[in-house]
Structure 1
């Protein structure tokens, strides 16, 4: 096999929830849909041992590199995951970050390579998300039972959203609070340093 002439073909993943999978690859990972095709069946069982309508979507960074083929069978809701597949490393040599978000008009979370192990220290934060109230009990239940995750703040009233409403005086209030903060001077007078948490 010639070194530069051999190219891996797409890795095929059978997906049951096409919209959520497409959103993951396209919006969260920033991949591009390179090709999409719809089929009525396949005698060669390209889509697996299933009859009926199916599709394949080639998605990746660009067509010169490895891509993923998402095979969707209209009559299949989900697939049982085995333990044969663990990871597709997705990175490039120049970017050492990932930008994640739910929609173009919402804030983004950028993850950056820091060149070593993560040390959360004591100043680590957390993030809050807003969603319709009727969805919260289901989300909490999933996190507690299925994902074994801790809910830091259980279901709260929708008025919580008021915390992120714009206050036209916020900048002045912050500046005033910082200007009137004399804690550094207080510690200095007592020949002390502010303690670390």
Structure 2
């Protein structure tokens, strides 16, 4: 098995302005690239929507060696219902804690030196009040599972993740592809996992030639494949191949060919401007207000 790496987590956002303020000004992330699309994605990257949408990648550094957030915005949708599936992203940054205090953003201390901040849309971020490391400050993404043993088996036996820690008593396991990468934490919640309409997606890369093998293995093991191997185009950028899976609890998992993805995900120095221009040009809120209508709630 070639080297695999954790890439990003996809969040659906209903308000780009508020979201940009949280990720840029509070967390201190940079806009790595911003892309606009006229129609829905073949691999449902923007969810089950056909219309115009955008994708904004935000993070602490290049996607080559940082775990980042992908913010997808559907022009006609103002809000999404949160489920119980995404339990949080944990990162090391005393600067983010300080930014939150300066901005008057609500912070809740959940353990000594660890603060919970809620992003627009209700997504939880856990900020460890420690100096931000030079390498990637994003430590882990925590997802809810209904059966810890079954999920650990799926992620380790089928997807080849290394098990770093397991705690049966606390119903928790920590997995990952490498010591220096963002980890995946699975947390048992003792019941079914609800994905709401805000359901996210976690993405990983692997050598392109492994994608058909991943798909074949899932077929053989009778596991769910949401999108069979497909090529995705981004206007003016590299075409990538992806296969989209679902784990036993229905968490969406994207595997993308690493070589083309590195080309696609190069930092765009105009990312900030492209996002700001797109937000300035987006008159959808005014249109709905003028027609005395509310944006759709997904």
The TM tier, using the shorter chain, reads 0.3 to 0.5
Task: Give the TM-score, by structure 2 length.
Answer: 0.32
How high is the TM-score relative to the length of structure 1? 0.47
